[in-house]
Amino acid sequence: MERSRPTGDDPRSPSTDPEPRAAAPHRAARPKVARPLLKLTARSLVRVLVMLFLVATVTFVAIRAMPGNPVDVWVQDLQDSGLTAEQAQAQAHRVLKIDVDASLWSQYVDYMNNLAHGDLGDSIILSPGTPVTEMLSGRLAWTLFSVGIGLILAFVIGLYLGGVAAYRRGGWIDRIITNGSAVMDAIPPVLTGIALAFYVGVVWALVPIQSLRGAYSPDVQPGFNLDFMLSALAHVIAPATVYVLATVGSWALAMRSSALSVLNDDYVAQARARGLSERTIRVAFVQRNARLPLVTGFAITMGFVFSGSILVETIFVYPGVGQLLSDALARRDYTVMQGIVLATTVTVLIGTAIADTLNGWLDPRTRTEQDA
Amino acid sequence: MTSLDAPKVLEVTDLGVEYRQQDRAVHAVSGLSLALGQGETIALIGESGCGKTTAALAILGMLPASATVVSGAVTITTDGRATDMLGLAPRELRAMRWQHVAYVPQGSISALNPIQTVGRHFQQTAQAHDLPRREAEPRAYELLAAVHLEPDRVWTSYPHELSGGTRQRVVIALAMLLEPEVIVLDEPTTALDVITQEAVLRTLLELQAATGVSYLAITHDLAVATAMADEVITMYAGRGVEYGTAEQVLDGPLHPYTRGLMRSMPSVDSDLVAETIGGYPPSLSALPPGCSFHPRCPLAEDSCRAGGAPELLAVDERRVACPVIVEQVAATGGTR
Amino acid sequence: MSATEQLLPVDVVAAPPGGFAKAVGNVRELGLGGMIGLGGLLLLVVTSAIGRFLTDTPPTDVEAILQSPSLHHPLGTDFTGRDNLLLVVRGGWDMLELAAVAGVLMSVIAVAIGMLGAFSGGLVDRVTVRMTDLWLTIPRLVLLLVIASLFPFDSTFALAVLIAVFGWPYLARQVHAQALSLRRREHVEAARLLQLRTSHILLRYLLPAMAPFVVISTITGMTAAIYQQVVLAFFGLVPLEDNWSVLFSVAYGQNAIYLPAAAWSLFTPVAAICFLQFCLVLTSRSLEGLFDPRLRSAR
């Protein structure tokens, strides 16, 4: 007679059945999750690397390889302002870390080599000589912070609203949520941001947005203290609200349609036939199944919100990567621009990989798929 | 073998179900009656769309919102107590379900939550009916073994990892978890290959012999009816048109529709080419006047084309809703 | 078939989604939303046409800088004294032109790639899906801004092309999904099994079935194009005459959000843009419901 052994933690106590029967379990078995998940993560990482490679190449082509590209223009400008050809090229070499005069292919190799070592060149105009990576590191953290909060809040709120709308389909709540979401979806986040800044900050003066510029108040010391954390949270309210308003509508609509489709599925009806409570059905059957298709949308939304951060940070004077890009665009600082493109790409791709892994954990069907 | 002494666990009297489709009413079921005894099997046979599934859902109280029961009664008798299924409040209905009447749907993949293991399904069901895990899990393991599956392997599997036949058996085992009096089987063998079909049917019969459960089997596959049924009811356009024991109906069908069904089944040991019944089943929202079958019936007379649907008439120990046939039988003096 | 579909009689379930011609004939079915949307669009087109072709550039008037609405200037004036209403009326044509061109271009690319992948299957499908996904996940807006700032894009058409190149993947994904589901539908399967020529299948089955969906995705593309233009204008990368997005960007640059009176010059173009988006969204949603009656009950 075989006894099944559990894998992983099992807090249940052993059976106290006095009459051992033919196949009575000592403890029922648990499914294995770890191995397939690792494989999934590995595959995601490979995908990230491949995409990164492609994006880096595209960036190189745009900035260096096309006729009329900015580097050539800049070298020409340097020459016009008095430098000799060699001097101009030497300057370019110092800043970009590639030999501007060599063949395109060798420049590409140098470029890729630099990237592999984490060298993004130096800023040309904004802060000449400063390595781009240095300029990015602090700012990236703030952008991640504000974007992250916005994304998670929008996801949670949107899913809740979508679920409510699906369950009360056709009712007035449903109509409000659906139409409201569609309207919010259509309004560009930049306009939401500005409207918010204007009405809440200036006209109604509810929130002192002028004093909420920057990531935290100037009189607060950064570090692991409560003052700092509270201040940081206060300053992130405005940008985060815009991110939430810009995306919550599409989450709600997506969740609503997904939940409606699940509610229509036979296994839900079957669950009712089995006498399960509505609450169990709502959580274990509807919610858990309805949110699955949405997890993949998370990656795309991330890209969208990151892009939106450029505008939002400019409007609310928030010291993130978006604001830096704003400046770089205005002043034509190519290395910084290039660095930002690559940095945001990496971030979004990593976020995508995480979302994929999350999806694998939540949906057992994807774990056993042979091809991605 | 129908024994009139077997206590009836499920009684349906004059059931009528209508769907509201925008502005028209669809008569999915009209005047259906049946009495299922303990340990017995009734097969409801008929083409797709004849209302068999609707009838089953009505019995379980699982009709969609667009359907209403417009007439009739459904009674389930357990431990001597009769419960009117149609009059139950939602909470009471939930308690009755699965505990006293279970449902095995067509297409097992759609019966299971794709992101839960098989084991979780059993645990959940037990929990919902206040059955402690200590009792539920061993019983579940036993049932899985009884349907010829490996309990350990199946317990931790997800539905998509199992073959169709295995899933069907899981669903059957799940249905038996709370030892219901009645199990409604909806096309238990469709979507299975022939060999698995035979195995599943055998399993169902074994379980019945062991536990005394009653089956209401809905099927368009006459082989299933032949294998399992004690009594057979033929349905056409929402009405029961022939009632009798399996032997009577399957070997000596009376109603022209049932006869047509039998003739349309090719037989392994005969050279007869199968004949189809000409025409199509009528739209349930626009039934023809008189007998619904008359447009396709070889015996149709003028009296069939007018008036209401024909009444069920008693012939020997069976009932047929066809006055023409009944006359013929009376004239020839026997059921042949 | 779900259990519910099984229950309903065959003729009720098998109703196919409405075809294009059949749908167009049923204007009443547009619903309130659709009528408002289309009506609004018509209004905008007419007004913008009048503005573009029948009026002159509004004069600057140093005496009338940043005024709130008055009888003389119903929507106030901007920082150079020009009448806001006139500016808004004149600024529409450019936006509409860009939205239309970009939207159509985006749609064309998206449909071509989406359908190519869905109907070729196999390696081609996987490659197109990968390409689309790659293009989708990278932060396109960042790249768009960078490229717009590095290279000159000084005509509406050039801008439209740029926006289309960066905007097609979102649509392509939807087209691909729709085309896939179409391909698996029985009557298309049947046609393929009968070895009907691919062009025949395309013309007689797929195009008519896809047409409504393509229309809707074009409208969605237009919404996206407008959004992209607003962003580009915000960063001063739209070297065009005063269309709404440029007006907005200039007003913002004048710090109009901190001066309630000046806000009129900021919010009139914004309101116009939002109104345009709103109409497009309403139209597309009502068209969706029109073309697939099953969707209507799901709304």
Give the residue with greater pLDDT, C68 vs C215: C215
pLDDT at B192: 80
The pLDDT tens digits for A99-122 are: 767 777 887 887 788 877 777 777
Contact yes or no for C137 and A51 at CB 8 A? yes
- Mutate which: C1, C6, C11, vs B, most B CBs within 10 A: C6
pLDDT band of C4, cuts 50, 70, 90: very low
Chain A, 19 to 48: residues with Cβ < 8 Å from chain B are: 21-25, 28-32
Mind telling me how many Å the CA of A76 is from chain C's nearest CA?
A: 15
Cα angle value A60/A61/A62 (rounded, 5°): 90
pLDDT at C2: 40
pLDDT at A6: 35
The pLDDT tens digits for B79-116 are: 778 888 888 888 888 888 888 889 988 877 788 988 88
- Name every chain C residue with its beta carbon within 8 A of the beta carbon of A345: 138-139
Partner chains of B (3+ C-beta pairs under 8 Å): A, C
Q: How far apart are CA B291 and CA B304, in angstroms?
A: 5
Give the residue with greater pLDDT, A282 vs B269: A282
Partner chains of C (3+ C-beta pairs under 8 Å): A, B
Q: How far apart are CA B262 and CA B276, in angstroms?
A: 10
Give the pair of three-digit tokens for residue C150.
Answer: 């590095």
Q: How far apart are CA C287 and CA C213, in angstroms?
A: 9
Contact yes or no for C12 and B106 at CB 8 A? no
Q: Is the pLDDT of residue B140 over 80?
A: yes
Q: How far apart are CA B166 and CA B196, in angstroms?
A: 9
Give the pair of three-digit tokens for residue A18.
Answer: 């006095």
pLDDT at A4: 34
- CA of residue B72 relative to chain centroid, distance: 18
Distances in Å between the Cα of A150 and the Cα atoms of A247, A308, A312, B27 are: 9, 11, 12, 53
Q: Is the pLDDT of residue A273 over 50?
A: yes
Q: Is the pLDDT of residue C16 over 70?
A: no
Among A103-112, B56-65, B138-147, C7-16, top mean pLDDT goes to B138-147
Distances in Å between the Cα of C234 and the Cα atoms of A311, A314, B251, C27 are: 8, 10, 83, 39
Q: Is the pLDDT of residue B179 over 80?
A: yes
Mean pLDDT of all residues in B209-228: 88
Residue C250, C-beta contacts closer than 8 angstroms, at least 6 positions apart: C78, C79, C242
At B291, is the secondary structure helix, strand, or coil?
coil
Question: Which chain B residue has its CA at the smallest distance from A363's CA?
Answer: B115
ipTM: 0.79
Question: Which chain B residue has its CA at the smallest distance from A4's CA?
Answer: B152
Contact yes or no for C140 and A70 at CB 8 A? no
pLDDT band of C204, cuts 50, 70, 90: low
- Name every chain B residue with its beta carbon within 8 A of the beta carbon of C11: 283
Mean pLDDT of all residues in A168-196: 80
Residue A83, C-beta contacts closer than 8 angstroms, at least 6 positions apart: A91
* CB B110, CB A266: distance < 8 Å: yes
Mind telling me how many Å the CA of B61 is from chain A's nearest CA?
A: 8
Mean pLDDT of all residues in C36-46: 86
Which pairs count as long-range contacts for A60-66, CB under 8 Å and 24+ apart, including other chains?
Answer: A60/A108, A60/A111, A60/A112, A62/C143, A62/C146, A62/C147, A62/C150, A63/A334, A63/A337, A63/A338, A63/C150, A64/A98, A64/A104, A64/A107, A64/A108, A64/A111, A65/A104, A65/A108, A66/C151
Q: Is the pLDDT of residue A226 over 70?
A: yes
Mean pLDDT of all residues in C241-264: 76
- Name every chain A residue with its beta carbon within 8 A of the beta carbon of B96: 275
pLDDT at A160: 92
Q: Is C147 on the interface with A (CB under 8 A)?
A: yes
pLDDT band of C287, cuts 50, 70, 90: confident
Q: Is C14 on the interface with B (CB under 8 A)?
A: no
The helix (run of H) or strand (run of E) holding residue B41 is strand B41-45
Complete DSSP assignment for B228-286: H-SEEEEEETTEEEEEEEHIIIIIS--SHHHHHHHHTS--TT--PPP-PPPS-PPPTTS
pLDDT at B270: 63
pLDDT at A5: 32
* CB B132, CB B140: distance < 8 Å: no
pLDDT band of C26, cuts 50, 70, 90: low
pLDDT at A64: 73
Q: Is the dihedral of CA B298, B302, B307, B313 positive or negative?
A: negative
- Name every chain B residue with its beta carbon within 8 A of the beta carbon of C2: 110
Mean pLDDT of all residues in A281-303: 84
Mean pLDDT of all residues in C2-8: 38
Mind telling me how many Å the CA of B299 is from chain A's nearest CA?
A: 41
Give the residue with greater pLDDT, C183 vs A311: A311
- Name every chain A residue with its beta carbon within 8 A of the beta carbon of C149: 329, 332, 337
pLDDT at C258: 67
Q: How far apart are CA C292 and CA C299, in angstroms?
A: 11
* CB B259, CB B282: distance < 8 Å: no
Chain A, 33 to 92: residues with Cβ < 8 Å from chain C are: 51, 54-55, 58-59, 62-63, 66, 68-70
pLDDT at B122: 93
Q: Is A370 on the interface with B (CB under 8 A)?
A: no
Average the pLDDT over each of B131-140, C1-10, C138-147 and give the range with the smallest value: C1-10
Mean pLDDT of all residues in B60-69: 83
- % chain B with pLDDT above 90: 12
Contact yes or no for B124 and A276 at CB 8 A? yes
Q: Is the pLDDT of residue C82 over 60?
A: yes
* CB A247, CB A306: distance < 8 Å: no
Q: How far apart are CA A232 and CA B218, in angstroms?
A: 65
Average the pLDDT over each of A33-42, A243-252, A326-335, B64-73 and give the range with the smallest value: A33-42
pLDDT band of A14, cuts 50, 70, 90: very low
Cα angle value C249/C251/C252 (rounded, 5°): 65
* CB B74, CB B93: distance < 8 Å: no
Q: Is the pLDDT of residue B215 over 90?
A: yes
Q: Is the pLDDT of residue A231 over 70?
A: yes
Question: Which chain B residue has its CA at the smallest distance from A30's CA?
Answer: B156
Q: Is C295 on the interface with A (CB under 8 A)?
A: no
Q: What is the mean pLDDT of chain A?
A: 77
Of residues C3, C4, C9, nearest to B49 (C-beta) = C9
- Mutate which: C141, C248, C252, C276, vs A, most A CBs within 10 A: C141
Of residues A22, A266, A365, nearest to B111 (C-beta) = A266
Of residues C252, C270, C285, nearest to A182 (C-beta) = C285
Q: Is B298 on the interface with C (CB under 8 A)?
A: no
Residue A352, C-beta contacts closer than 8 angstroms, at least 6 positions apart: A44, A48, A299, A302, C137
Contact yes or no for B156 and A23 at CB 8 A? no
Mind telling me how many Å the CA of B215 is from chain A's nearest CA?
A: 16
Average the pLDDT over each of A127-141, B76-90, C69-83, C127-141 and give the range with the smallest value: C69-83
- Name every chain A residue with its beta carbon within 8 A of the beta carbon of B60: 273
- Mutate which: C12, C29, C297, vs B, most B CBs within 10 A: C12
Contact yes or no for A2 and B151 at CB 8 A? no
- Name every chain A residue with its beta carbon within 8 A of the beta carbon of B99: 275
Q: Is the pLDDT of residue C33 over 80?
A: no
pLDDT band of B5, cuts 50, 70, 90: low
* CB A95, CB A335: distance < 8 Å: yes
At A127, is the secondary structure helix, strand, or coil?
coil
pLDDT at A7: 36
Q: Is A327 on the interface with B (CB under 8 A)?
A: no
Give the residue with greater pLDDT, C153 vs A326: A326
Cα angle value B105/A287/A299 (rounded, 5°): 120
Chain B, 55 to 84: residues with Cβ < 8 Å from chain A are: 60, 62
Q: How far apart are CA C266 and CA C256, in angstroms?
A: 6
pLDDT band of A156, cuts 50, 70, 90: very high
Q: Is B20 on the interface with C (CB under 8 A)?
A: no
Q: Is the pLDDT of residue B307 over 80?
A: no
Q: Is B292 on the interface with C (CB under 8 A)?
A: no
Mean pLDDT of all residues in B285-294: 79
pLDDT at C23: 47
Average the pLDDT over each of A69-78, B88-97, C209-218 and give the range with the smallest value: A69-78
Q: What is the mean pLDDT of chain C?
A: 75
Give the residue with greater pLDDT, A52 vs C184: A52
- Mutate which: B103, B285, B287, vs C, most C CBs within 10 A: B285
